[in-house]
């Protein structure tokens, strides 16, 4: 049975980074951080235990302090951000089940203060940026 183990009773906003570009006139437009949906997504979220966090650091050379489960969404990518409970998390790893037909397991870590997107870099939802 699909989605039977994770009760998605929390909401989080997922963001992707968009690179800057030059338009046809040669004017540079700064990139930004764009949400992948117009509203927050339902998810399951939990904090990893200390042993899981340590294991991920050894196995994947990434710290992973939080675990999220979203419904299938191909726009969730490593290196993006999750904004959950007034905290920014950096997406470290994305695992899928059933070849993108089921849940997406997203492993994230607390974003260092210097890497948190500035308010001016956070843009409104734009489906052309996906």
- Boundaries of every domain in the chain: 10-129
* Residue 59: per-residue pLDDT: 55
Contact 109, 64 (CB under 8 A): yes
Residue 59 backbone dihedrals phi, psi, to 5 degrees: -80, -40
CATH topology of domain 10-129: Thrombin, subunit H (2.40.10)
CA 25 to chain centre: 33
pTM: 0.80
Residue found under tokens 């974003």? 111
Mean pLDDT of 6-34: 89
Span 79-92, average pLDDT = 93
> What CA–CA distance (Å, rounded) separates 111 from 53?
15
Q: Is the pLDDT of residue 60 over 60?
A: no
Look-up: residue for tokens 């260092």?
112
pLDDT tens digit sequence for 23-56 = 899 899 888 899 999 999 999 999 876 555 544 5
Tokens of 112: 């260092």
């Amino acid at each position: 049975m699909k989605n039977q183990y994770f009760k998605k009773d929390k909401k989080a906003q997922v963001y992707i980074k968009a690179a800057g570009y030059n338009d046809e006139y040669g004017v540079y437009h700064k990139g930004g951080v764009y949400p992948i949906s117009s509203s927050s997504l339902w998810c399951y979220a939990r904090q990893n235990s200390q042993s899981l966090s340590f294991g991920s650091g050894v196995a994947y050379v990434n710290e992973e302090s939080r675990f999220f489960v979203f419904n299938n969404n191909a726009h969730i990518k490593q290196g993006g951000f999750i904004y959950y409970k007034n905290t920014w998390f950096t997406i470290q790893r994305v695992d899928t089940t059933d070849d993108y037909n089921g849940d997406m397991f997203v492993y994230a870590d607390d974003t260092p203060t210097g890497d948190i997107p500035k308010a001016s870099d956070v843009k409104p939802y734009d489906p052309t940026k996906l």
